[in-house]
Structure 1
Amino acid sequence: MDTGVVMQAPLFAALDSETAEQLVLSMSTQEFAKGKEIFHEGDPGDSLYVITHGKVKLGRRSPDGRESLLSVLGPGEMFGELSLFDPGPRLTSATTVNDTILIALHNEDLRTFISRHPEVAMQMLAGLARRLRRTNEGLSDLVFTDVPGRVAKALLDLSARFGQPYKSGVRVTHDLTQEELAQLVGASRETVNKALADFAARGWLVLGAKSVTLLDTGRLVRRAR
């Protein structure tokens, strides 16, 4: 386990290294193959998870079967923490994008830990606030930003979390299908593919299999506004 990556999670940010390591040791490690569901929308919310390796997608399904991809999370990010502050059924489904390793902590154990380290609650609330802010920005984008702008913004967000320097650009291995990328943007696959093809034709990026290499982030930033 990459302890340095784990310590990036808001759960550990307020702790000294010794206390954080003790908490990690009290958590259970769980491994999931690609495409496995960790929990389903409506399931009881009884645990918090921190990703140590791989990616997890959070989504919802409408009554008529349509799917919406809300976010993609990677190493050092956590999910499932909402049930700690608001006990109830899960609001989303969590599914692995690729082979994934998580560490999990049951809510009862986490409440006991927070009672001894109340500063952790503030860090977790800050993490929830950041996710809420991203959600609100996404809702605003659906109303005020066209599809190419939303595509550019999604690519920049994925780059900030999963990008790696590559030749003259930034390689982003997002591991998403074309349909999942379209769900993340909130548009049809055809419209998103058209925007990606246009960006590629302009020389802003190079498309790959479940990846993209950003060559001109400045142009994408301007297009995302």
Structure 2
Amino acid sequence: MIEWLKKVSLFDNLNDEQLEHILRISHRRTLPAGTILFHEKESGTTFYVVLSGSIKLFTKSGSGEEKVLSLVNGGESFGELSLLDGRPRSASAQTLEPTTVLELASEHFMNLMQEHFDITRGILAELCRRLRATNEHVNDLTFLDGRTRVLKNLISLANKNGKRDGNMISIPMSLNYDELAQMAGVAKTVLTEVVRELEQRGVLQFGINEYKLNLLKLRS
């Protein structure tokens, strides 16, 4: 388990003894695909670290329309916002595949932040990253057309989760077309048209639970 924790960016600077302490004050759960960890507007009492698998964070409109905000993978964390400001959850969280998480109750989470500045700094850096990403997304929705937003979203996912082999980048993908469209802020028909175009040009290859980007053809 310690080896798993060492892959979590928040715990980069902790030694084995400190990591053992985190294991003692946390609870590990393995969840099947489709499990809701919490709903938007619920009170937040738990901080989550993803050890393996993936989770989508999303909101719903009054009419029930879903909007995927982000994808959380192994080594990343989420759920800290409600613990920090005491307000309800700003989004819902659902597993996309069998996923193992580490759960820390609010009290233990706050104690960790008080005792380990590295963790506090990591959480602040992550919150700043999300704010910048939100600002960028708003800018994209304002100034970029649908095709460009789809391309930018695919490249962003590749940069975050992809593994490169020469000119090819393989990206594990548990999101379906509807969810990919929601992340890019486009209609599903727009996403489908762009994907079809990229496949015809040899830029994009969709497989089972993954897609591949050809960097050479993307640049051309």
TM-score normalized by the length of structure 2: 0.91
Q: Is the Cα contact below 8 Å between 2:2 and 2:19 reproduced in 1?
A: no
| SS of corresponding position for 2:132 | helix
Q: Cα distance 1:25–1:152, how it changes in 2: closer, same or farther (>3 A)?
A: farther
Q: Gaps (5+ residues) in structure 1?
A: none
| SS of corresponding position for 1:183 | helix
Cα drift, residue 165 of structure 1: 3.9
**Matched residues in 2 for 1:217 and 1:179: separation?**
28
Give the aligned length: 220
1:43 paired with 2:42, answer: yes
Q: Is the Cα contact below 8 Å between 1:205 and 1:212 reproduced in 2?
A: yes
- Equivalent residue number for residue 74 of structure 2: 75
Cα drift, residue 10 of structure 1: 4.7
- Equivalent residue number for residue 90 of structure 1: 89
Q: Cα distance 1:217–1:159, how it changes in 2: closer, same or farther (>3 A)?
A: farther
**Matched residues in 1 for 2:187 and 2:135: separation?**
21
**Matched residues in 1 for 2:130 and 2:68: separation?**
14
- Equivalent residue number for residue 29 of structure 2: 30
- Equivalent residue number for residue 19 of structure 1: 18
Amino acid of the residue matched to residue 40 of structure 2?
Answer: E
1:108 paired with 2:107, answer: yes
**Matched residues in 2 for 1:208 and 1:33: separation?**
22
- Equivalent residue number for residue 172 of structure 2: 173
Equivalent residues in 2 for 1:116-127 (5 A)? 116-127=115-126
Amino acid of the residue matched to residue 39 of structure 1?
Answer: F
- Equivalent residue number for residue 3 of structure 2: 3
- Equivalent residue number for residue 55 of structure 1: 54
Amino acid of the residue matched to residue 154 of structure 2?
Answer: L
**Matched residues in 2 for 1:84 and 1:10: separation?**
19
Q: Is the Cα contact below 8 Å between 2:10 and 2:118 reproduced in 1?
A: no
Amino acid of the residue matched to residue 12 of structure 1?
Answer: F
Q: Gaps (5+ residues) in structure 2?
A: none
Amino acid of the residue matched to residue 215 of structure 2?
Answer: D
Cα drift, residue 13 of structure 1: 3.3
**Matched residues in 2 for 1:170 and 1:2: separation?**
29
Deviations 1:181-205 (A, max 9, x none): 1111111111001011111122211
Cα drift, residue 89 of structure 1: 0.9
Q: Is the Cα contact below 8 Å between 1:141 and 1:150 reproduced in 2?
A: yes
Amino acid of the residue matched to residue 133 of structure 1?
Answer: R
**Matched residues in 2 for 1:70 and 1:62: separation?**
13
Deviations 1:98-132 (A, max 9, x none): 01000010111111222222442222111111111
- Equivalent residue number for residue 159 of structure 2: 160
Q: Cα distance 1:22–1:166, how it changes in 2: closer, same or farther (>3 A)?
A: same
Identity level (%) = 32
Q: Is the Cα contact below 8 Å between 2:167 and 2:215 reproduced in 1?
A: no
TM-score normalized by the length of structure 1: 0.89
- Equivalent residue number for residue 183 of structure 1: 182
Q: Cα distance 1:171–1:117, how it changes in 2: closer, same or farther (>3 A)?
A: closer
| SS of corresponding position for 2:69 | strand
**Matched residues in 2 for 1:183 and 1:206: separation?**
20
Amino acid of the residue matched to residue 170 of structure 1?
Answer: I
